[in-house]
Amino acid sequence: MANRKYIVGNWKMNGLREQLSDVADIASIAENHKDVDVAICPPVTLIALATETVPGFAIGAQDCHFASNGAHTGCLSAAMIREAGATMTILGHSERRADQHEIDADVKAKAEAVHAAGLGAIICVGETEEERDAGQAIDVVCGQLEGSFPDDADAGWLTIAYEPVWAIGTGRVPEASDVEEMHAAIRSKLSALMGDGADAVRILYGGSMNGGNASELLAVPNVDGGLVGGASLTGEKFGPIIEAAAAA
């Protein structure tokens, strides 16, 4: 049986209070498509405000620290983002792997901390253009998945997002056949890592997904949804992706 589609907006470092109306617009579109799971991950500063604006709508964070507390200036623990109202968080996004030098072991520790706090997690993996050109894309992605994989993985809280680094924010999208090949490889790696429960773990595609290409991407086998950056900032742009998921 196909997994329920999951469409997640990653707002990155975008959004002030005035954008709460966009969260409200998106939540009302989601309300009309209850067969799709929809969430928005705004900047941390908007998490509590967003949950007050749209009670019951899923709001997530974009990162959290693996420690439960302590001397980590500028960081937030899983309990803190949960208290703010987040129900899940993105982890190991390629921008954090590049800018904050996060490594697989960090992502694994963060995922375990997030689960211990009762939150869901979306672990991101993806190859660079050089790695794809060198024919290493599947090895790189499966290696990241294995290194980042939490010991207590379960589809109830864990989601994987395949985001080719070269497709993020560039308007470039892989061929559907390449997405299919990669998602199948991730699925079989999940089976090797966790056995029977692997089929229920949702694998999202991310990287320049928009209203124009969502239907084709969401129809690819093993694509259980999307992690969307630029096209998630308004209801006008994000709505067509939610609708494409509902029709998939």
- Identify which range of 50-58, 102-110, 150-158, 205-213 contacts ligand PGA by CB under 6 A: 205-213
> Which lies closer to ligand PGA via its Cβ, residue 10 or residue 148?
10
CA of residue 156 relative to chain centroid, distance: 15
Among 64, 78, 228, 246, binds ligand PGA (CB under 6 A): 228
| Least distance from ligand PGA to the Cβ atom of residue 55, Å | 26
**213 lies in the site for ligand PGA, by CB under 6 A:** no
Residues 35-94 that bind ligand PGA (CB under 6 A): none
Answer yes or no: 93 catalytic. yes
Residue number closest to ligand PGA, CB atom? 229
Distance CA 207, CA 186 (A): 17
Please tell me which residue in 102, 127, 131, 163 is annotated as part of the active site: 163
Give the burial class of 181: count Cβ atoms within 10 A of its Cβ; 0-12 exposed, 13-18 middle, 19 or more buried: middle
Among 86, 201, 209, 233, binds ligand PGA (CB under 6 A): 209
Residues 98-137 that bind ligand PGA (CB under 6 A): none
| Least distance from ligand PGA to the Cβ atom of residue 169, Å | 4
The CA distances from residue 194 to 122, 191, 238, in Å, are 16, 5, 33
**203 lies in the site for ligand PGA, by CB under 6 A:** no
Query: 103: which 2 tokens?
Result: 């490594």
**150 lies in the site for ligand PGA, by CB under 6 A:** no
The CA distances from residue 20 to 52, 109, 142, 236, 242, in Å, are 10, 31, 37, 14, 18
Axis-axis angle for helices 104-116, 137-148 (nearest 10): 40
Answer yes or no: 83 catalytic. no
> Which lies closer to ligand PGA via its Cβ, residue 26 or residue 227?
227
Exposure letters 202-211 (e unless 16+ CB within 10 A, then b) = bbbbbbbbbb
Query: Taking the CA of residue 200 as centre, how many other CA atoms within 13 Å lie in the half-sphere pointing to its CB?
Result: 10
| Least distance from ligand PGA to the Cβ atom of residue 230, Å | 4
Query: Taking the CA of residue 202 as centre, how many other CA atoms within 13 Å lie in the half-sphere pointing to its CB?
Result: 24
**163 lies in the site for ligand PGA, by CB under 6 A:** yes
**Binding positions for ligand PGA, rule: CB under 6 A:** 10, 163, 168-169, 206-209, 227-231
The set of catalytic residues is 93, 163
